[in-house]
Every structure is written in C-alpha cells, then in structure tokens.
Amino acid sequence: MDIVLIILGALCLLIGIIGCVAPVLPGVPLSYVGLLLLHFTDRVQFSWQFLTIWAVIVVVIQLLDYFIPAWGTKKFGGSRWGVWGSTIGLVIGLFMGPWGIIIGPFLGAVLGELIYFNRHPQASGPQSQTATAQSQNSAAQPSANSNLNRALRAGMGSFIGLLTGTILKLICCGMMVFYFIKELI
C-alpha cells in the first residue's frame, strides 16, 4: 500500500507543477495532497506542525493568486475600474480555459480603464476651453492615445501580476517536491 501512496503522491506533485503553469489545474493544492499521501505511508511521518504550516501556505498562495493580478493593475497606474476589470476578466477567464485565465485579467484591466476614461474625460488631462473645434479635435487624438497607453500599461500590470503568481506557485510546489524527495530518501 505504501508504494501505491508514494506513486500517487509523486503524480500529484507532478500534476501540481504542471498546474502552476496551466491555470486550469489547482497546482499548489495538488502538490500538498502529494505531501499528505506521503505522510500516510508507514515510511514517512511529517509533523502536524509541518503539515499545518504548509496548509496555511497553500491557502495563502491560492488567495494571492487571485489578488496579485489586480494588485499589478493598481501598481502600474490602473484605476479602481482597471482593478475591477482585471478581477472580472479573471472570473470570466476561468470559464474559457487556460488562455482565458491568462488573457482575461489583461483584457479586463484594459477595458476597465478605457471605460473609466470614457466616463471620466477629466482623468485624461485638462483641455483648453477656448480652443477652436479644429484644435480640440487634434488635441483629443493624443488624449485618446494617452488613454490607450495608460489602459495598456494597467493591462500589462495585470499580466505581470499573473506571472508573479505563477512564479510563487512554482516556488511553493518546488519546495514541496524537495521535502517529498528528501523524506523519501
């Protein structure tokens, strides 16, 4: 029975690492299940303190994975609209497979920012009220480009946040693989 648990635990760790990159799979929790399966063998006994600390780490990493893209949006100059757009894009992306989870927060942040600039034109910078209609039209074009650039920057912040979350998950799963192998040997 121990051999079966060790093999299942190793599979969970392997699938967990894949799940860090393929957002459809819950990578970090699967890796933790791999540690638990090893714990239930007669060969290895982790302390309850060790298992509890790792359970807390897994929960924190999973929560951060959902909030880091929104934080990245805010860090790169996104408004509250961009943060909400990133979060909504992530939720919608969950139903669209791996690419939806990657692209959803980016598009959501960009769309949220564009909606914000559309509803709050003063956010894109002051415009002279005495300008003629022709100069207003020429001044509006750089403002639109500026808004798009700011929205894309917020979307990039969301994407960098997603990459940061992926790196955190890989580090966490890598540590669990290390403990699994260390205890097995």
pLDDT, tens digit, 9 for 90 and up, residues 109-146 = 889 888 888 887 766 554 433 334 444 444 445 466 78
| pTM > 0.75 | no
The answer to which of 7-11, 65-69, 97-101, 165-169 has the lowest mean pLDDT is 97-101
Joined tokens for residue 53 = 């600390």
Q: What is the pLDDT of residues 35-57, one digit of tens each?
A: 999 999 998 899 999 999 999 99
**146: Cβ contacts below 8 Å, ≥ 6 apart:** 124, 125
Helix runs in 22-132, H state only: 27-39, 48-75, 80-94, 97-119
Tokens of 37: 């399966």
Taking alpha carbons only, the member of 30, 81, 84, 80 closest to residue 54 is 30
* Mean pLDDT for the stretch of residues 62-88: 82
